[in-house]
Every structure is written in C-alpha cells, then in structure tokens.
C-alpha cells in the first residue's frame, strides 16, 4: 500500500474476503474502499473496483458527492498499475 501513500492516499488494513481483498481508504464522511480479486478464478486476471461506485450516496438525510474522491483513487490505481 506504499504506492498509494506515494499518491497521497492513506489506506487502512487490507481485509481478506472470499472474493479477494477489501482495502479501506481513510476518508472522513463516508466509506471508501478499493476492492481487488481474481477474475473468474484465473490466477493471472484481476478485477479491481472502487466502492462506492455511484457519484452520490445518501447518509442519513444528506446526499454526499463521492465523485472527486472516487476519481482520485481511480487515478492513483491507474498510475500504480501502469
């Protein structure tokens, strides 16, 4: 996760799931995470996605715009994988 720190994104401990890894991103206001796992069970293909994937979420009675934070994680992931 050092590569994310180099991009200015602080992560929490990785959590193993039955489908792969759940990597919480330290962010105030709402839950944000990077999720990675094997694609179709293949050892050399991976699927990564960011949770939440919606541009807005609801928390209590408020709407929260997630666009900027999700975009920041997506750009960091693209930079790391490139």
Calculate mean pLDDT across residues 62-81. 88
d(CA 75, CA 43): 25
Considering only CA atoms, give the Rg of the chain: 13
- Strand 32-38 versus strand 46-51 pairing type: antiparallel
At residue 55, the pLDDT reads: 73
User: Mind listing the pLDDT tens digit for each residue in 33-65?
Assistant: 999 988 776 667 888 888 887 777 777 788 888
For residue 74, pLDDT beyond 80:
yes
* Paired residues of 48 in beta bridges: 36
At residue 42, the pLDDT reads: 67
Torsions phi, psi for 69 (to 5 deg): -70, -40
Calculate mean pLDDT across residues 63-73. 86
């Amino acid at each position: 996760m050092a590569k994310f720190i180099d991009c200015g994104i602080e992560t929490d401990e990785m959590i193993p799931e039955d489908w792969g890894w759940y990597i919480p991103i330290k962010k105030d206001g709402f839950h944000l995470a990077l999720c990675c796992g094997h694609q179709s069970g293949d050892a050399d293909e991976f699927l990564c996605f960011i949770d939440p994937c919606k541009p807005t979420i609801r928390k209590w009675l408020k709407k929260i715009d997630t666009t900027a934070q999700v975009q920041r994680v997506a750009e960091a992931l693209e930079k790391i994988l490139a």
